[in-house]
């Protein structure tokens, strides 16, 4: 059996995160849990996990959660049909634009951060998408 993808995003304020992700991306609440909720409407469910700032993500780590802008090697890309409209919607919901829209042979991309410092991209593919650059 192949694994299924489930995305988990730590946030400092569950109600604020629900508003942001629903308003920015048109997601809806699937199920609610104690201190978490599931958002549906994308290819994979996105679970928002309320984790207080200053707590550690694992016992062996000394780094604490910090909801200022932070870098992580894993981030979300939201594929959209109209990048300009999606960017306006995300910014209206509270996203911060970190790099203006850039164009490439495969399409266009905008780099942003959510209100909790999590980076994400909005991607609009050209007609050929990544096939335009595949080797």
Domains and CATH numbers, the chain: 7-54+75-132 (3.10.180.10)
Question: Which pLDDT belongs to residue 129?
Answer: 95
Question: Which pLDDT belongs to residue 23?
Answer: 98
Mean pLDDT of 24-49: 97
Question: Which pLDDT belongs to residue 59?
Answer: 85
- pLDDT tops 90 at residue 84: yes
How does pLDDT run across 45-68, given as a tens digit for each residue? Answer: 999 999 999 998 888 888 889 899
d(C-alpha 126, C-alpha 108), whole Å: 8
d(C-alpha 115, C-alpha 96), whole Å: 8
Question: Which pLDDT belongs to residue 70?
Answer: 87
pLDDT-based confidence at residue 11 (cuts at 50, 70, 90): very high
- pLDDT tops 90 at residue 71: no
pLDDT-based confidence at residue 103 (cuts at 50, 70, 90): very high
pTM summary value: 0.91
Question: Which pLDDT belongs to residue 77?
Answer: 96
Share of the chain above pLDDT 70, in %: 100
Mean pLDDT of 73-89: 95
Q: Which of 11, 49, 45 is nearest to 25 (CA)?
A: 45
């Amino acid at each position: 059996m192949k694994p299924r993808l489930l995305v988990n995003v730590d946030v400092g304020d569950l109600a604020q995160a629900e508003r942001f992700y629903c308003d920015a991306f048109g997601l809806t609440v699937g199920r609610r849990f104690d201190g978490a909720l599931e958002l549906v409407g994308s290819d994979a469910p996105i679970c928002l996990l309320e984790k207080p700032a200053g707590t550690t993500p694992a016992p062996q780590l000394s780094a604490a959660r910090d909801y200022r802008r932070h870098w992580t090697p894993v981030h979300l890309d939201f594929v959209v049909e109209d990048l300009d409209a999606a960017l306006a919607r995300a910014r209206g919901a509270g996203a911060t634009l970190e790099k203006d829209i850039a164009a490439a042979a495969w399409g266009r991309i905008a780099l942003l951060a959510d209100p909790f410092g999590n980076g994400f991209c909005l991607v609009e593919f050209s007609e050929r998408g990544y096939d335009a650059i595949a080797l």
